[in-house]
Amino acid sequence: MTVDNAVIMAAGTSSRFAPLSYESHKALTVVRGEVLIERQIRQLLEAGIRDIYVVTGYKAEQFEYLQRSYGIKLIHNSSYETRNNNGSIWAARNVIRNTYICSSDNYFSENPFEKTADESYYAAVYSEGDTGEWCITEKDGYIAEVRTGGRNSWYMLGHVFWNSAFSSRFLSILEGEYDKPGTENLLWEHIYINHISELPMKIRKYPDGMIYEFDTLDDLRRFDSSYEEDTRSNILKTIAADLAVTEGDLREIRPFKEKNHSAAGFTFLCRGRNYRYTYKTRQLQEGKDEE
């Protein structure tokens, strides 16, 4: 069947990508000379997918230029602060048919998109050894079970394709559960897993080095070495200057949150010492508080 369109989810705050995500949306990070979401849009266009929607929320205004540059359409997810990514699926429900569902922060070394697709699938890559990702048990090419963590296993990573039958069934399930207590915290994948017997989906296997996701600055540095000494973060540049070190000395950055779950700041390691940076007050302290 012909792919109707693509929906790229870009509403989340990407708190683990602190502090870069405090200053610019993670999807707009430049990786090996290309903006993440722009690379993905170009790959969709090259595959003949012209009808592209970007679901925004956090720092939504930063995406407006994409309408002029690439002709994409923006859908605003007004619940991005209170719901997980099932809110973005709900916001885009009126355009989801035979649709690619994409995460704005994925980097594909080769173009994975096609103009036609037959059955719904989730992209997967293989883990040698232990992994904490969503590991797949398959039967006859279909996803039979998904569990968190495993060893020597295929696991979910990257884009998905929903055919119209899958879309219709999933959106019906989501509508029935959307207002139930606790659903707001769920990824759409959690809802899929809870109803996996009703939602047949294949596994689409990709080779190592094809699909990347950067959860933290350390992840990005391993892929793009230009971030070692130039993080593109004014916050980290200021901290490095205050400590009289290089940006490369700032490692193992981990965010912490306030009691209302909003971003509060991050901890990091510098030359064997632990530090804590509070974002709102711009306060830097030595010593790592337990959170």
9-44 pLDDT, tens digit per residue, is 999 999 999 999 999 999 999 999 999 999 999 999
Biggest CA-to-CA distance, the chain? 59
Distance (Å, whole) CA 18 – CA 216: 7
Q: Is the pLDDT of residue 290 over 50?
A: no
Note the pLDDT tens digit of each residue in 225-242: 999 999 999 999 999 999
Backbone angles phi, psi at 247, to 5 degrees: -60, -30
Instruction: Report the percent of the chain where pLDDT is more than 70.
Output: 97
Average pLDDT over residues 147-157: 97
**DSSP state letters, 132-175:** EEEEEEEETTEEEEEEEEEEEEEEEEEEEEE-HHHHHHHHHHHH
Domain boundaries 5-213, corresponding CATH code: 3.90.550.10
Average pLDDT over residues 187-202: 98
Residue 128 class from Cβ within 10 Å (0-12 exposed, 13-18 middle, 19+ buried)?
exposed
Q: What are the residue ranges spanned by the domains of the chain?
A: 5-213, 231-286
pTM of the model: 0.95
Note the pLDDT tens digit of each residue in 86-134: 999 999 999 999 999 999 999 999 999 999 998 999 999 999 999 999 9
268 touches 236 (CB < 8 A): no
The Cβ of residue 233 has, within 10 Å, a number of other Cβ atoms equal to 22
Place of tokens 């693509």: 6
The Cβ of residue 118 has, within 10 Å, a number of other Cβ atoms equal to 9
264 band by pLDDT with thresholds 50, 70 and 90: confident
